[in-house]
A = this chain, B = another copy of it.
Amino acid sequence: MHALKVTRAENFPEWYQAVCREADLAENSPTRGSMIIKPWGMGMWELMVADLDRRIKETGHENCYFPLLIPMSFIAKEAEHVEGFAKEMAVVTHHRLKNVGGKLMPDPAAELEEPYIIRPTSETIIGDAMSRWIKSYRDLPLLLNQWANVMRWEMRTRLFLRTAEFLWQEGHTAHATREEAMEETLKILHDVYQRFVEDHLAMPVVPGEKPENERFPGAVATYSIEAMMQDGKALQAGTSHYLGTNFAEAQNIRYQDRDGNLTLAHTTSWGCTTRLIGAVVMTHGDDDGLRAPATIAPKQIVIVPMLRGKPEDAEIRDYCASLAGELSAQRAFGAPVRAFVDMKETRPADKRWDWVRRGAPIICEIGPRDAAGGQVTFMRREALREGDKIRSVTLSRAEFVARAPAFLQDGCETLRREADERLRSNIRADIGAWADLEAYFGAEDDETSFKGWARVGWARPTGAALAEVADRLKSLKLTIRNAPREQGAVSGKCIFTGRPAVENVLIARAY
């Protein structure tokens, strides 16, 4: 018996929904396709933001804030961008409601001359500002970032993974040369995103370049980091784009170079979103719920007093409070330990399971014997069970307090090791022909069967030939995830065209 009603093996998508609900991460809202992020989920996001923001600032970027609403005409400026984004987005057409016979409606007298769209991304409105702010080479590089909500009118939504509104950071930079812009694009990919996701979220990724047909609309090159979920599917955990001079041309971002010539800037953009919370669930969760890496657990050590409505309750309460105080004076991951006493008026057993499902890294259960004997009985969430039994350990209070930071650190390492092992052992490199791919991925079609990734050689077709490849892959519900930056040896034939392979690419089902 596990703490969730459905296991990963039984039905992975249902299990995912169950974790989001039972771990109090988020829920659907009355606004179609938009979610409510609940405190435990939001707390995780805030800790992600703090760490990623630090990395973005350490690499020289500054935060700013641009308008939510973008004039419709701005979207039309970059030809591919309009094709890619003009489709599904929220359009603001009126600026007033009117009460007509007790019923509210948009006031026809308050129709906007030019509609606004709610930003799906901000290249156009930030590019417009760049064209005003950049005058000379002295103003370059311009390294901006913003934390914001964005909206894309998705038809089929899933909590965190695909929602109409989501939270993200979007970086936007302008540079004097192609080389500098490419260096930025890859610095974000490797030094910021990969390091953040692997080190802070304990989630191994493969960085690489997206094929032409998967590029950001308007980009010259798009890079991604791809993570493997427990059902084998890939999840794009961050993207970094080199935009060439496409947006600079569309929006007139020019600078006077050292020789006095007016020159087009090279721009980049890059983003990470709240879908990372979904990725954490699908990477580290188990059949008892979420296992939150201690780096992002809003409460790292939860103390449940085993109160029984008896006189010794007072002693237990005091003991828990002073234990929390001592733990908070310890440091883990460069910050004070986040310890919390759950004083809610519910049954201790219910609290235990609530915190197990939420994935608090350490859960202490303090009864009269612990309080009297100066000891701490606790569970570690990353290693909750021994066979069918819950693994509960008792240590002296002093030893527990001293070792708590190491427990938190070790817990993260365990999660990372499991995820590393999963990624390493589930990329098939033995698929040399289309028929092999078909045999592996076409065998059965139910969403619950585990399928890893395939690393295959290809001849990097473009245009119509690439579209045909994409269609064939689509018939197996597959996409090319990226061409890993670490290519290793490239040999054999392209599994699509039979021509000599020039590059390795990763193929997978994906979120």
A interface with B by C-beta (< 8 Å): 29-31, 34-39, 42-43, 45-46, 62-76, 82, 86-97, 99, 104-106, 115-118, 125, 128-129, 138, 144, 148-149, 151, 153, 165, 167, 344-346
Task: Decide: A66 and B29 in contact? CB cutoff 8 A.
Answer: yes
**17 A-B contacts, Cβ less than 8 Å apart?**
A29-B66, A29-B125, A29-B129, A31-B70, A34-B69, A36-B66, A39-B62, A39-B63, A46-B63, A73-B104, A75-B104, A86-B97, A88-B96, A91-B95, A91-B96, A91-B106, A138-B346
Q: A69-B165, A88-B96, A92-B118 are in contact. Are A42 and B30 (CB under 8 A)?
A: no
Partner of A34, one of B37, B68, B144: B68
Task: Decide: B69 and A86 in contact? CB cutoff 8 A.
Answer: no
| Residue in chain B with minimal CB distance to A34 | B67
| Residue in chain B with minimal CB distance to A148 | B149
Complex formed: what's the CA distance from A345 to B55 in Å?
25
Task: Decide: B92 and A92 in contact? CB cutoff 8 A.
Answer: yes
| Residue in chain B with minimal CB distance to A139 | B344
Number of this chain's copies in the assembly equals: 2
Task: Decide: B39 and A69 in contact? CB cutoff 8 A.
Answer: no
Task: Decide: A64 and B36 in contact? CB cutoff 8 A.
Answer: yes
Partner of A64, one of B42, B69, B99, B144: B42
Nearest Cβ on chain B to A111's Cβ, whole angstroms: 9
Complex formed: what's the CA distance from A90 to B117 in Å?
11
Task: Give every chain B residue within 8 A of A128 (Cβ-Cβ).
Answer: 30
| Residue in chain B with minimal CB distance to A133 | B38
Task: Decide: A67 and B97 in contact? CB cutoff 8 A.
Answer: no
Complex formed: what's the CA distance from A65 to B90 in Å?
19
Task: Decide: B95 and A92 in contact? CB cutoff 8 A.
Answer: no
Task: Decide: B86 and A104 in contact? CB cutoff 8 A.
Answer: yes
Q: In the complex, which of the residues A35, A75, A104 has the most CB atoms of chain B within 10 Å of its own CB atom?
A: A104
Partner of A31, one of B37, B69, B82, B148: B69
Task: Decide: A91 and B89 in contact? CB cutoff 8 A.
Answer: no
Task: Decide: A345 and B97 in contact? CB cutoff 8 A.
Answer: no
Task: Decide: B89 and A62 in contact? CB cutoff 8 A.
Answer: no
Complex formed: what's the CA distance from A64 to B86 in Å?
30
Task: Decide: B31 and A43 in contact? CB cutoff 8 A.
Answer: no
Task: Decide: B93 and A89 in contact? CB cutoff 8 A.
Answer: no
Task: Give every chain B residue within 8 A of A64 (Cβ-Cβ).
Answer: 36-39, 42
Nearest Cβ on chain B to A109's Cβ, whole angstroms: 12
Task: Decide: A106 and B115 in contact? CB cutoff 8 A.
Answer: yes
Nearest Cβ on chain B to A107's Cβ, whole angstroms: 8
Ranked nearest first, the 5 interchain pairs of A and B with the lowest CB-CB distance are A39-B62, A34-B67, A31-B67, A37-B65, A91-B94
Task: Give every chain B residue within 8 A of A62 (Cβ-Cβ).
Answer: 39, 42-43
Complex formed: what's the CA distance from A39 to B66 in Å?
11
Task: Give every chain B residue within 8 A of A86 (Cβ-Cβ).
Answer: 97, 99, 104
Complex formed: what's the CA distance from A89 to B92 in Å?
10
What 15 new A-B contacts, CB under 8 Å, besides A76-B104, A91-B92?
A29-B125, A34-B68, A35-B67, A36-B129, A43-B63, A45-B65, A46-B63, A68-B149, A87-B96, A88-B96, A91-B93, A91-B106, A94-B115, A105-B115, A148-B149
Task: Decide: A30 and B74 in contact? CB cutoff 8 A.
Answer: yes
Q: A91-B106, A125-B29 are in contact. Are A153 and B65 (CB under 8 A)?
A: no
Nearest Cβ on chain B to A478's Cβ, whole angstroms: 28
| Residue in chain B with minimal CB distance to A50 | B50
Q: In the complex, which of the residues A36, A45, A46, A144 has the most CB atoms of chain B within 10 Å of its own CB atom?
A: A36
Nearest Cβ on chain B to A152's Cβ, whole angstroms: 10
Task: Give every chain B residue within 8 A of A106 (Cβ-Cβ).
Answer: 91, 93, 115
Task: Decide: B93 and A94 in contact? CB cutoff 8 A.
Answer: yes
Nearest Cβ on chain B to A267's Cβ, whole angstroms: 17
Partner of A89, one of B39, B74, B96, B105: B96
| Residue in chain B with minimal CB distance to A75 | B104
Nearest Cβ on chain B to A99's Cβ, whole angstroms: 7
Q: A36-B65, A65-B36, A65-B42 are in contact. Are A97 and B117 (CB under 8 A)?
A: yes
Complex formed: what's the CA distance from A272 to B17 in Å?
35
| Residue in chain B with minimal CB distance to A129 | B36
Task: Decide: A89 and B99 in contact? CB cutoff 8 A.
Answer: no
Partner of A75, one of B63, B97, B115, B117: B97
Task: Decide: A68 and B37 in contact? CB cutoff 8 A.
Answer: no
Task: Decide: A104 and B92 in contact? CB cutoff 8 A.
Answer: no
Partner of A90, one of B35, B39, B95, B99: B95
